[in-house]
């Protein structure tokens, strides 16, 4: 799967984990969300983000987008997903071999 990691999830560890099985595009740093979204769409990439509010709005206004994978945070380490859990959840979604065009998927639901 071709992935674009928003800068809120683009840790070196997550990039390294995901790069084993997926094409991970370089993250644009300091760009506004709309520009990030447009870049990912032009690159035919699925966006991974913790910024649900803004990116769900962008996805809703983009017919036929390439997919959005969202991680919700509670700012509580007992509930927040770890880097490994995020990576594993993305791999589970990829293993479903489902077309993600137009899809918005909450990765928390794929937590082990």
* Structural domains counted in the chain: 1
Given a cut of 90, is residue 10 above it in pLDDT? yes
Average pLDDT in the chain: 96
Contacts of 72 (CB under 8 A, 6+ apart): 50, 52, 106, 108
β-strand partners of 48: 5, 69
Rounded mean pLDDT, 30-49: 98
- Cα 109 to Cα 23, 52, 71, 75, 86: the distances in Å are 23, 14, 9, 17, 11
Q: What is the mean pLDDT of residues 93-111?
A: 96
pLDDT (0 to 100) of residue 112: 82
- Does residue 78 surpass a pLDDT of 90? no
Give the integer Cα–Cα distance in Å for 82 and 73.
Answer: 10
What is the pTM for the complete model shown? 0.95
Confidence tier at 77 by pLDDT (50, 70, 90) = confident
- What is the span of the domain harbouring residue 49? 2-110
């Amino acid at each position: 799967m071709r992935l674009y990691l928003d800068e809120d999830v683009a840790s070196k560890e997550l990039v390294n984990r995901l790069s084993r099985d997926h094409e991970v595009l370089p993250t644009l740093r300091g760009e506004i969300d709309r520009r990030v979204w447009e870049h990912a769409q032009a690159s035919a990439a699925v966006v991974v983000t913790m910024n649900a509010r803004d990116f769900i709005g962008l996805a809703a206004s983009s017919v036929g987008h390439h997919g959005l994978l969202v991680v919700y945070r509670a700012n509580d380490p007992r509930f927040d997903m770890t880097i490994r859990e995020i990576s594993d959840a993305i791999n589970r979604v990829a293993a479903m071999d489902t077309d993600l065009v137009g899809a918005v998927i909450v990765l928390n639901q794929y937590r082990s």
